[in-house]
């Protein structure tokens, strides 16, 4: 029955390394284009904030810069999508898929992906941004040691996702080294060039 409800949903995956600006640019896209933004990281952090046993388990994994289990993230995303379907059918799925299997399972069980937006940034820039955010974010993963591990996870597990969708001509790559506004100029060019 889920598939019937989700029929017609348009999905864009938003991928980038830790601190590449995914969440930041998604917030801009929502303001200008009215998509529904679902961030796997935000959904996981909300579960942690609830203080549940499940949240405690998730927090320990995020603290190590590793990926939480596929079923856990997919379940959270699917529930969030279903609760928003009456408002919109266009979804930005931010921070997901982070490994190939996540993408395949989502497309088989939830909805096909129409496009992938990939924010490309150097490790040095991502590290600097996250250390800056770490001064005030209170996030368990914005420290030097965890950032190193998150970058490793990105290169080993998430890069193959980009290659996979690239071979289907679905990836639009944006250089995200510039300021938030400069990056958004490039995002807008792409968004305006597509029929949503």
Euclidean distance between CA atoms 188 and 60, whole angstroms: 37
Q: Which residues bind ligand B4P (CB under 6 A)?
A: 18-24, 39-41, 44, 61-62, 65-68, 73, 95-96, 98, 102, 129, 133, 141, 150, 176, 179-180, 183
CB of 89 to ligand B4P, least distance (A): 22
Q: Residue 40 or residue 165: which is nearer to ligand B4P going by CB?
A: 40
Q: Residue 4 or residue 135: which is nearer to ligand B4P going by CB?
A: 135
Q: Please give the DSSP secondary-structure letter assigned to residue 141.
A: T
CB of 4 to ligand B4P, least distance (A): 25
Q: Please give the DSSP secondary-structure letter assigned to residue 35.
A: P
Q: How far apart are the first and last CA of the chain?
A: 25
CB of 141 to ligand B4P, least distance (A): 6
Euclidean distance between CA atoms 149 and 64, whole angstroms: 7
Peptide bond into 114 cis (omega under 30): no
């Amino acid at each position: 029955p889920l598939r019937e409800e989700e029929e017609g949903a348009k999905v864009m995956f938003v991928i980038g390394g830790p601190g590449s600006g995914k969440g930041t640019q998604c917030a801009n896209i929502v303001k200008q284009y009215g998509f529904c933004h679902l961030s796997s990281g935000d959904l996981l952090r909300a579960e942690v904030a609830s203080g549940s046993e499940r949240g405690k388990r998730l927090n320990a994994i995020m603290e190590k810069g590793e990926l939480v289990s596929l079923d856990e993230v997919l379940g959270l995303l699917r529930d969030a999508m279903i609760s928003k379907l009456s408002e919109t059918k266009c979804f930005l799925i931010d921070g997901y898929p982070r490994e190939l299997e996540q993408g395949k399972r989502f497309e088989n069980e939830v909805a096909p992906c129409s496009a992938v937006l990939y924010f490309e940034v150097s490790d040095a820039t991502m590290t600097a941004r996250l250390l800056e955010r770490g001064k005030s974010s209170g996030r368990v993963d914005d420290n030097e040691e965890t950032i190193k591990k998150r970058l490793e996870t990105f290169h080993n597990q998430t890069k193959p996702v980009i290659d996979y969708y690239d071979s289907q001509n679905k990836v639009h790559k944006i250089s995200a080294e510039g300021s938030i506004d400069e990056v958004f100029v490039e995002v807008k060019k792409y968004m305006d060039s597509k029929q949503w």
